Amino acid sequence: MDSQEIPDHFITEGARLVYRARRSSWEVTPERIFCVGEATSESPEEDWLLCLITDVRGSWVEASLYSQGRNDALQWLSQALGTSLEVKLAHAPPFRSRVMWPPPLQERALFAYQASLFRRTFSRGLRRLGVSLQSPVQTVHPQVMDSLWRTRRFSRSA
């Protein structure tokens, strides 16, 4: 089977969560996870994403929540972090995000997007019509970064 035919999928391997996809692959251990959230994008293929912030500088990895093994991955994360994680943005418009963990940040926006209201509202439709749009700038929300820096800088290495 050609590697392009292997579907995106999560693998839980003891103390590691692994994600394998056509475009990117990654693995994390619980001690590398500073924040967990979900986000939506304007991509027609992967518009619902699981996002893991992996350091206090705001680096993150992401994976399609449509991937095989999603429920196992969410269960692994719930056990590793000691809390139940619930996804809510399955059919939300593009450029939405929310923190799922840690508890003090729950339900806050995970990302800040530099995209106009027009773009946020009509981006998927414009792409379907073939209009080429420049990618918006996406960063971890400043309030989340501030909180992570204050609460984690002494407990985990940056």
Over the stretch 54-88, which tens digit does the pLDDT of each residue have? Answer: 998 999 999 999 999 999 999 999 999 999 999 99
Q: Determine the straight-line distance between the first and last CA of the chain, rounded to whole angstroms.
A: 40
pTM: 0.80
Q: Cβ contacts of residue 7 below 8 Å, gap of 6+? A: 67, 68
CA-CA distance, 116 to 124, in Å (whole number)? 14
Is residue 61, in this structure, part of any structural domain at all?
Answer: yes
Nearest CA-CA partner of 20 in 37, 42, 3: 3
Is residue 57, in this structure, part of any structural domain at all?
Answer: yes
pLDDT band at 1 (very low <50, low <70, confident <90, very high): very low
Per the structure, the count of domains in the chain is 1
Is residue 157, in this structure, part of any structural domain at all?
Answer: no
Is residue 158, in this structure, part of any structural domain at all?
Answer: no
Calculate the average pLDDT of the chain.
85
Neighbours of 94 (CB within 10 A): 20
- Say yes or no to pLDDT of 157 above 50: no
Instruction: State the residue range of the domain holding 121.
Output: 3-152
Q: What percent of the chain has pLDDT over 90?
A: 60
Residue type, 152: R
pLDDT of 158 reads 39
Is residue 117, in this structure, part of any structural domain at all?
Answer: yes
- Say yes or no to pLDDT of 125 above 90: no
Kindly list the distances between the CA atom of residue 36 and the CA atoms of 41, 52, 100, 128, in Å, as whole numbers in the listed order: 17, 5, 5, 30
